[in-house]
Chains A and B, each alone.
Chain A
Amino acid sequence: MAWQQPMDGSHASGSKVAAADGPGTQRTQYPYVTGTSVIALKYKDGVIMACDTGASYGSTLRYKSVERIKAVGKHSLIGASGEFSDFQEILRYLDELTLSDHMWDDGNSLGPKEVHSYLTRVMYNRRNKFDPLWNSLVLGGVKKGPKGEEKYLGMVNMIGTHFEENHIATGFGNHLAIPILRAEWCEDMTFEEAVKLVEKCLLVLLYRDRSSINKFQIAKITTEGATIYPPYSLKTHWGFAAFENPSKGAVGSW
């Protein structure tokens, strides 16, 4: 993805001292180690989130056992696609946030809505400084609110666009998984139904996204807390007649 360079070099840096920037300095940003799509949806007991465990380095599948979904506090799950080092940095920010919140010792804990709002501010401010965190983040969780247990699912991306929805997909999932989710999601699915729907989407992504691998992780968050299941693989089907012999109708063609 080509990233337009800012016209002049005089932009305040993200974390370094501003005086270091002179004319011609560039905030060159390309993602290096990237994770592909994350899918999430609300179901009866909370929120379910899934992604594959691969991280690519350009067109090489460099890392195959990467955890791109993590728990945040007691009430939320965060999943990220995009630059993996930026995700690790975001996890550090969230650690600081949850720690200082815990030290208030006031019996309150950060819920998913609050964490989503915090991340939105971080992402948008970084983009305004032309030093973005190159991620699409998915934030899901359940927390007791004025109307009882409230499920929350939202997304923020690298330019600060954020919204809340019943089902989210990032990256290629936007094109391949969202059509399925829009057609087949319904309110109050059971855990089994939700896993089936998520697996359907993951399978399509496995077939049609070149940077996905056949090793997935599903995580769920409910009132009992976050559970991240161990990775597993899906069965693929390649036995179509046309795949086995494409030139059956005309020998010598393809």
Chain B
Amino acid sequence: MDFFGDEEEYNTNVLAIIQRNHELVPGALCPAASATSSPSPRRRHRRRRSISMAGAMDLPAKGGFSFDLCRRNAMLAEKGLKMPGFRKTGTTIVGLVFQDGVVLGADTRATEGPIVADKNCEKIHYMAPNIYCCGAGTAADTEAVTDMVSSQLQLHRYATGRESRVVTALTLLKSHLFSYQGHVSAALVLGGVDVTGPHLHTVYPHGSTDTLPFATMGSGSLAAMSVFESKYKEGLTREEGIQLVSDAICAGIFNDLGSGSNVDVCVITKGKTEYLRNHQLPNPRTYVSSKGYSFTKGQTEVLSTKITQLEPKVEVAEGDAMEE
């Protein structure tokens, strides 16, 4: 149930009216879900029904962003309606390739404007047993898109009987994001190890990708990149890789306001993945009251007592005080 009422209900009602009046222009009014529609229900993505007019041609499902409601939203905004905001993950996410595979890292702060909404959220998302993806940008978008591609990869694994490849995840992500023309605000660092070796890619909200030996994304990307550019070299060992990733995330945590709290690390090698949740906790709670925070009676010292009797101030002439 979203802010403006049930969209599906609205659409069906409108379309029923239009259908009756035969005003429907040939073509799917409500494009169906994107290309490889998976049968599993997608969180935060409403399935739109494709319409076939009585007796008219059945057009194939189209993907991409539907601009139908834009005019209505613009009209509402003009009338003074404030759209609900979205939770962004002002973030530092990084990845690097070391000699045996890939190390991914992320901070754990999710912000809603100036407020920290979640002190310890998880930004490293599961895609496949050998592929993980860090997400920056709008939290809902990164979650939904990685979930969706993860399901698609699982179906693909069932169909092919093979381990998923990183380029498969990459292509699925980039074609989805491109078809939404940047409106799905997800900036991702995708990494994994498959039969062809270790791979690390960045994916931008508009759908472009890069293949890199080390990558950073998010608001803290410059701080993290400065650490990488000065210290990265090829052929790092596992310990060096984890250390460098932690250093880069810490640089983001301490030098960027949008990033903070803890460091999550994920190490992917051939045949083994280790998700080190909260690998470093560089922001511990330093003060904790020794007496605890429940204040029982008798804990506060009474210095003096003064009791004042309350006297009635109002003289009621006749009738009830509460009358009228």
* Binding between chains A and B: yes
> Which residues on A are within 8 Å of B, measured CB to CB?
172, 175-180, 182-183, 200-201, 203-204, 207-208, 240-243, 246-250, 253-254
The answer, yes or no, to whether B211 is at the interface (CB within 8 Å) is yes
What is the CB-to-nearest-CB distance from B14 to chain A, in angstroms, rounded to a whole number? 41
Which of A178, A200, A242 meets B230, CB within 8 Å? A200
What are the 8 closest A-B residue pairs judged by CB atoms, nearest first?
A246-B211, A175-B222, A250-B167, A179-B223, A179-B251, A242-B213, A240-B213, A204-B229
Chain B contact-residue range equals 20 to 34
Contacting A at CB under 8 A, from B219-268, are 222-223, 225-227, 229-230, 234, 247, 251, 254-255
Tell me, in angstroms, the Cα distance from A179 to B230 when the chains sit together. Answer: 11
Sample 15 A-B pairs with CB under 8 A, ordered by A number: A175-B226, A177-B226, A179-B227, A200-B230, A204-B225, A204-B229, A208-B229, A241-B213, A241-B234, A242-B212, A242-B213, A249-B197, A249-B199, A250-B196, A253-B170
The smallest beta-carbon distance between B322 and chain A, in angstroms, is 57
Q: Report if A242-B211 is in contact (Cβ < 8 Å); known contacts: A176-B226, A250-B196.
A: yes
Q: Which residues of B contact A246 (CB under 8 A)?
A: 210-212
- Complex contact B167–A249 (CB within 8 A): yes
The prevalent SS among residues of A at the interface is: helix
Contact B222 A180 (CB under 8 A): no
For residue B166, CB closer than 8 A to chain A, the reply is: yes
Interface 1/0 per residue, B79-112 and A, CB below 8 Å: 0000000000000000001000000000000000
Given contacts A208-B229, A248-B197, A249-B211, 10 further A-B pairs with CB under 8 A are A176-B222, A176-B225, A178-B223, A179-B255, A183-B251, A208-B222, A208-B225, A246-B212, A247-B211, A249-B167
Inter-chain contacts of A241 with B (CB < 8 A): 213, 234
- Which residues of the partner chain A approach B225 to less than 8 Å between Cβ atoms? 176, 204, 208
Q: Given the complex, which residues of B lie within 8 Å of A207, measured CB to CB?
A: 229
A176 to chain B: which residues have CB within 8 Å? 222-223, 225-226
